[in-house]
Amino acid sequence: MITGKVSTNLQAMISVAVLGPRGARRIVRTTVDTGFSEFLSLRPQTIKSLRLPYFDDFPAELADGSLKWFKRYEATVIWDKKPLAIQVHEADGEPLAGMSLLEHFRLTAEVRSGGKLTIVRLR
Domains and CATH numbers, the chain: 2-121 (2.40.70.10)
As beta bridge partners, residue 31 has 13, 96
CA angle 59, 27, 111 (to 5 degrees): 80
pLDDT of residue 87: 96
Structure confidence by residue, pLDDT tens digits, 47-56: 999 999 999 9
> Is the predicted pLDDT of residue 17 greater than 90, yes or no?
yes
d(CA 17, CA 81): 10
- Predicted TM-score of the model (pTM): 0.90
Backbone phi, psi, residue 101, to 5°: -70, -30
Among 113, 101, 116, 104, which residue's Cα sits nearest to residue 36?
Answer: 101
d(CA 77, CA 94): 17
Q: Can you tell me the mean pLDDT for 85-113? A: 96
